[in-house]
Amino acid sequence: MMKSLEAPEEEVVGDHRENDKLKEIIVKIVREEIEVMVREAKEEIKEIVRTELFPMLRSAVRESISRELEEVAYQPQRAVAKEEAEESDDEPTITIEAGGDQRLGLYLYGIADAKALTGLAGSWGRAPHAQTELGQIGIEENAVYTIPYKELSAIVHDCPLEPYNSEDEEVVKGWVKTHQHVLDVAEEKFGTVIPFGFDRIIKAEDRASAKEVLNKWMSEEFDNLKKMMEKIRGKKEYGVQIFYIPSVMSEKIAEESEEIMRIKEEIKSKSPGAAYMYKQKLEIAIKKEMESRMVFYFKDFYNRIKRHVEEIKVEKTKKMDEMEKQMIMNLSCLVANDAYKELGAELEEMDKEEGFSVRFTGPWPAYSFVS
């Protein structure tokens, strides 16, 4: 009787041992998955901190205005006078004028190269540094004119001291489009114009009028303004945005990656419980491979674009409303007037690559390259 009872007990012990081994395997797999998840989480947190918490103010403002003008045109940069005054001590400061009209300031569109008109002074009978009238083309149909200083001319209109604010988005879009139009007209007349962002208002300071404040600032910044002028002469700004389609790229990775194919084969031989774990592992492997490839493509596209431009600024990528498309690259490019066709041809080749699409906008004033 004793012998017949011992056999089942050995089987039970064996079952326990087998269960213990299975538990150990499961615990090991779970632990490995948790470690992978923790590593992934750390990388995601780093990326969020890098891209979300520390974006430059100018990129954020530029992105906001780009969204507002999406249906009309790409607007590379919009600066608000109050924010920019807080950024830089070199800008004209804001106080109340002692004497004169204290309710008016100067809305500054940009700084033009006055030499373009100086060269024609003989035929026009114009003094070398005379004020130039551009007509009532400004925001709210204000008369736009220039305030000359040596070889430069500030493009302005008289305005109230308060910034141009409105709750109506269409009104704001209209103001920004008018701002852009004034710069376009100025470029046709003067050739080269240093553009300033929307709503840059110069105000009186101490006993100096707004015009005197502007002249003082142009005097102090004359050398820097001349360098900016030479930097952008004969060039325009273009926007380049490159997108990829995650579903297409995932399929491509699944077909080409040996590691992904190996994991897929392993899943076929696993039990439902283990297969679930391996599917999670597969998703992580695909994600890592996707990130690796996007880094490769970014470097490749960047180097190909760089050959055709004078200067590049990498802007913050935007989150897309369309889930099937993600932005990999957002660039502002300073391009010589005789090189934009070559850049366009290069971008067409990139657009043909499987899983990618390219958006090429411009030309625009060189907002991104004069700060």
Residue-wise pLDDT for 258-275, tens only, equals: 666 676 666 666 666 565
115 & 127 share domain? yes
Last residue of a domain, one of 215, 233, 251: 233
Whether residues 271 and 153 fall in one domain: no
Phi–psi pair at 356, nearest 5 degrees: -125, 155
**pLDDT class of 2 with cuts at 50, 70, 90:** very low
246 token code pair: 């995650």
Integer Cα distance of 64 and 66 in angstroms? 5
> What length does the chain have?
371
- Residue 317 confidence (pLDDT): 86
Query: Of 233, 266, 286, which residue is a domain's last?
Result: 233
Of the listed ranges 17-31, 68-82, 174-188, 310-324, the least confidently predicted one is 68-82
Query: Is 344 in the same domain as 363?
Result: yes
Q: Is residue 206 part of a domain?
A: yes
Alpha-carbon span 60 to 354, nearest angstrom: 31
One domain, residues 151 and 229 = yes
32 in a structural domain: yes
Q: Of the given ranges (40-54, 63-77, 223-237, 334-348), which has the lowest mean pLDDT?
A: 63-77
Shared-domain flag, residues 245 and 226 = no
What are the angstrom distances between the C-alpha of 33 and each of 53, 131, 134? 29, 72, 68
Q: Based on the fold, state whether residues 209 and 257 are members of the same structural domain.
A: no
Tens-digit pLDDT profile for residues 42-92: 555 555 444 444 444 444 444 444 444 443 333 333 333 333 333 434 444
* Domain-ending residue, one of 172, 198, 233: 233
Note down the domain range covering 133: 76-233
Q: What band does 360 get if pLDDT is binned at 50, 70 and 90?
A: very high
Contact 316, 330 (CB under 8 A): yes
Whether residue 211 sits in one domain with residue 100: yes
Query: Residues 221, 246: one domain?
Result: no
Instruction: Report how many domains make up the chain.
Output: 3
Q: Same structural domain for residues 123 and 178?
A: yes
Give the up-direction half-sphere exposure of residue 168: CA atoms within 13 A in the CB hemisphere: 4
254 and 227 within one domain: no
The verdict on 221 and 250 lying in the same domain is: no
Which amino acid belongs to residue 89?
A: D
Residue 69 lies in a domain: no
**What value, to the nearest 5°, has the Cα angle with vertex 134 and ends 133 and 140?**
115
Rounded-to-integer distance, Cα 258 and Cα 254, Å: 8
336 - beta bridge partners? Answer: 235
Taking the complete model, does pTM exceed 0.85, yes or no? no
Same domain (yes/no): 219, 110: yes
Q: Return the bridge partners of 364, or none.
A: 237
Cβ count within 10 A of residue 208: 16
Number of neighbouring beta carbons within 10 Å of residue 174: 15
